[in-house]
Structure 1
Amino acid sequence: MAGTLKLASSGSFALTFPDAKTEDPVWRFTGLDGLSLWMEGDELHAGGDNESSHYLPTRMKYKPLVLSRPSDEDTPAMCQWVIDNMKNPTPRTGQVSVYSEDPNSPMFVIEFYDLVPVAWRGPTLSTDSVLIAGEEIEFVHRGFKFVPKKPKTD
């Protein structure tokens, strides 16, 4: 056996911006949804060939990225950050670091291009519920890549 398999399922995610300004906060998230892509295309039917068609790829499409977390004392600041960025939308490169047990060393980093917040969903509050209140931020983007890990130096 070559090594121990580390899983990202029990960790957290942190959103950062490589061009971070001092007012850009760093929040930890417990959920990440929307990491997917697909190729759109056009179906072309060749004349005289009634048994098959050709698929012509046209463009890559990306699902919106949704980061979620339990609500806490930072909830009002997070909501205001989203509002401020919606009022003045500036597409930015954002990085999501995926952690497992070690909160200081990410397992991997995903870089998103032209990330823009488009929605914030706050907690549903009810005194009859035992569920933990949570919140979500939804972003649109123009693609992503996994950032190569830097080799460990001894």
Structure 2
Amino acid sequence: MVSSLDHLGGDPAIASRFLFEVDGVEIGIFKEVRGLEVTVGTEEIKEGGQNGYVHKIPARMTWPNIVFRRGLTQSDALFDWMSKSSGEGFAGNGNKLSRSTGAITAITHTGARLRSWQLQAVFPVRWKGPEFSIDKKEALEEELEIAHHGFKSKTFSAP
């Protein structure tokens, strides 16, 4: 049997874009997100007299920066946020970083929300604008890189 979704891109549980919000404000919608991961380091404890193995225990958790690609922001919210966490905005706040709460939400081609990752203490570290050329036929794209202090995941229930 042919699904009515086949002509729209197939499985309704597959994300077709990713919404990025900061403190509830939409920053942009992107087609690609890299770096949403966590690594748990380990420490080794060498027990005296035990030469068969070394005890490993969990240690510090680390999260790489997250990079959003292949999107275009629709408002000045990104640059407003960047100005608060760098340059004159940062200096005007006594050189204190005002960290925000962020969220990445996976969205299907029908607009349904699949899963969200709530990011803690986010701030922007890099933005790259579109490349302009009259010879290019590709859509304009931006790239955004953010730092954060971890995340929690939330699954949305099916309608």
Q: TM-score when scaled to structure 2?
A: 0.70
2:71 and 2:158 map into 1 onto residues whose CA distance is: 34
Percent identity between matched residues is 23
Aligned to 1:13: 18
Which secondary structure state, in structure 1, belongs to the residue aligned with residue 113 of structure 2?
coil
Q: Contact 1:67 / 1:136 at 8 angstroms: preserved in 2?
A: yes
What do the CA deviations read for 1:37-74 (whole angstroms, capped 9, x no partner)? 111122222233333211121121112111122457x5
Q: Contact 2:12 / 2:110 at 8 angstroms: preserved in 1?
A: no
Amino acid at match of 2:122: L
1:14 and 1:37 map into 2 onto residues whose CA distance is: 20
Q: CA RMSD in A?
A: 2.8
Unaligned runs of 5+ in 1: none
Which secondary structure state, in structure 1, belongs to the residue aligned with residue 84 of structure 2?
helix
Amino acid at match of 2:100: R
What do the CA deviations read for 1:83-128 (whole angstroms, capped 9, x no partner)? 403323321111111111112x211211111111111123345566
Aligned to 1:117: 124
Q: Contact 1:85 / 1:117 at 8 angstroms: preserved in 2?
A: no
Aligned to 1:95: 103
* Structure 1 range deviating more: 38-47 or 124-133: 124-133
* Structure 1 range deviating more: 110-119 or 123-132: 123-132
Q: 2:149 aligns with which of 136, 139, 142?
A: 142
Q: How many matched pairs?
A: 140
**CA 15–142 in structure 1, closer or farther in 2 if over 3 Å, else same:** same
2:114 and 2:17 map into 1 onto residues whose CA distance is: 10
Aligned to 2:33: 32
Which secondary structure state, in structure 1, belongs to the residue aligned with residue 68 of structure 2?
strand
1:78 and 1:69 map into 2 onto residues whose CA distance is: 18
Q: Contact 1:79 / 1:120 at 8 angstroms: preserved in 2?
A: no
1:106 and 1:52 map into 2 onto residues whose CA distance is: 46
